[in-house]
Amino acid sequence: MKHSCPGRILAIALSLLTAGLARAAEPPKALTRQSPPPWHVRLTRSQLLAAWTRLRKVQIVGLPLDMRFNISGQAFYVSPVGDDGADGSRQSPWRTLRHAATQLQPNSVIYLAAGTYHGPVVVQTQASSEAPAAIRAAEGEQVIVTYPDDFIAAEKAKVHTAPNEGRTRAMDKQGQELHYPPLIDVRGRFVEINGLRLIGVRDRLPHNLYSENAISFSGKGGEGCRVLYNEIENVGHCGVKEMGHGGHSILIEGNLIHDVGQTHHDHGIYAPADDVAVRKNLLLNATGYGLHAYSSPKRVVATHNIVAGNDHFGVILAGPDALVAHNVFGSNHLGGLLFFRSGCKGCVVKNNIFYDDPAVGFDQMGDAKEAPSGNVLDHNCLVPGTHPGNMSPQDSTGSRNRQADPMVMDARAFDFRLSRRSPCIDAAADVGLGFLGKAPDIGLSEHR
């Protein structure tokens, strides 16, 4: 068995990975970006996909491994060689995702055959928990969703003044800010987006702030929706974003979201909504945060994620009663997790492995009245050479945090399974999730 290296070398292992993600997973026709910063995670494509596969296979005790909706109704089919005038059957598939999305009904599912499909796509389906709807890649098929060349050309033609490197604002001739729509805009309820590879064009257009998400929930959409097992890369703003329009109870699970954003406003996942669950995602190399739970979302649950290489903290918590547990944090530029101002209260951060130095920080805007309060940091493993960081005086750092080599299988390859000698086995707190053995294990998965 391989184990992570001991001592201070272990603390920096994640920042020493060699082949760049941007090179390994380069999007079609993308222009060359400036060299990535040294804290970005660098894995070969094969290592990246292997790490993602391992994470998706993590069994959370008491939860199904497959979180797809159970849909018993009609199935429709789409193929790059289909016809939008057809009936959408397996024998006569539609051609475009845009058309198929307009036909999606409650208790129905759309299957996409291998190929490239074009956004922007709007999904209006008002499904329900009893009759959900889904857009899925067909089993085993590589399905890419991106913007077509004619869309990019048309948007470029609107640009009158372009910012340097896309880092501020692009304007049209009327002096209006230019914004690019999300690849998939979900305005419905109980809709599942599953198994797609969504590739943005942040390198091909001068970007504005808050422009170009892979998947957005807008127009009061998002209730009960699920974003499952997608790869998202190269978008100009966020991988997945609830727009603050009233969506809630969204599950974001098993996704690989990497190399996204232009500025510190751009994140892997932006979650201002209540009751969002973020599980088993690989969140890498965003120019902002891996998970941005802001401005005051209630009861966000973030468990069993790998959050690494992001330009700010891995996670920011700005709302009350969040649970952040059983994650791995590493090589995030400013630290693992930020408790943000007075809205952040009653949050629990336990059972995580921190390769970040510092593990946590807090922001009170220079005013003690704005300090986070009632938050708990305990039962975490901090690798040698890292430090807990600073907590607000109104928060508490428990006595069960430990500084130790977690003895994972191979940190350099992002294999964070615990070896049989790991001090993290049976060392975690019970946070309401199932576990094996005498007590839960610190980290991503229960040692078997």
Q: What's the mean pLDDT when you consider all of the chain?
A: 91
The helix or strand, by DSSP H or E, that contains position 97, with its residue range, turns out to be: helix 97-103
Asked if residue 151 is part of any domain, the answer here is yes
**Residue pLDDT, tens place only, 159-208:** 888 765 444 578 888 888 888 899 999 999 999 999 999 999 988 887 77
pLDDT band at 11 (very low <50, low <70, confident <90, very high): very low
The helix or strand, by DSSP H or E, that contains position 184, with its residue range, turns out to be: strand 184-186
Q: Are 211 and 237 in contact (CB under 8 A)?
A: yes
pLDDT band at 122 (very low <50, low <70, confident <90, very high): very high
pLDDT score at 35: 75
Asked if residue 444 is part of any domain, the answer here is no
pLDDT score at 218: 96
Asked if residue 229 is part of any domain, the answer here is yes
With a CB cutoff of 8 Å and minimum separation 6, the contacts of 81 are 95
Asked if residue 147 is part of any domain, the answer here is yes
**Residue/partner pairs of 35-41 with CB below 8 Å, 24 or more apart:** 36/259, 36/285, 37/311, 37/333, 39/15, 39/309, 39/311, 39/331, 39/332, 39/333, 40/284, 40/285, 40/309, 40/331, 41/14, 41/17, 41/258, 41/284, 41/285, 41/308, 41/309, 41/330, 41/331, 41/414
Q: Which amino acid is at 247?
A: G
Asked whether the predicted pLDDT for residue 285 surpasses 70, the reply is yes
Q: Are 235 and 213 in contact (CB under 8 A)?
A: yes
Q: Are 351 and 428 in contact (CB under 8 A)?
A: yes
Asked whether the predicted pLDDT for residue 5 surpasses 80, the reply is no
Q: Are 133 and 107 in contact (CB under 8 A)?
A: yes
Query: Kind of pairing, strands 240-242 and 269-270?
Result: parallel
pLDDT score at 168: 58
Give me the domain span that covers residue 207.
7-78+141-418
Reported pTM: 0.93
Asked if residue 172 is part of any domain, the answer here is yes
Read off the CATH number of the domain in which 228 is found.
2.160.20
The helix or strand, by DSSP H or E, that contains position 46, with its residue range, turns out to be: helix 45-56
Q: Are 298 and 267 in contact (CB under 8 A)?
A: no
Asked whether the predicted pLDDT for residue 428 surpasses 60, the reply is yes
The string of DSSP letters for 329-353 reads EE--SSEEEEEETTT-BS-EEES-E
Asked if residue 256 is part of any domain, the answer here is yes
Choice between 175 and 319, residue whose per-residue pLDDT is larger: 319
Asked if residue 128 is part of any domain, the answer here is no
pLDDT (average), residues 134-159:
95
- Give the total number of structural domains in the chain: 1
Asked whether the predicted pLDDT for residue 422 surpasses 60, the reply is yes
Q: How far apart are CA 358 and CA 306, in angstroms?
A: 17
Asked if residue 33 is part of any domain, the answer here is yes
3-state secondary structure of 285: strand
Beta bridge partners of residue 115, listed in sequence order: 143
3-state secondary structure of 22: helix
pLDDT score at 8: 43
pLDDT score at 399: 95
pLDDT band at 4 (very low <50, low <70, confident <90, very high): very low
pLDDT (average), residues 32-58:
89
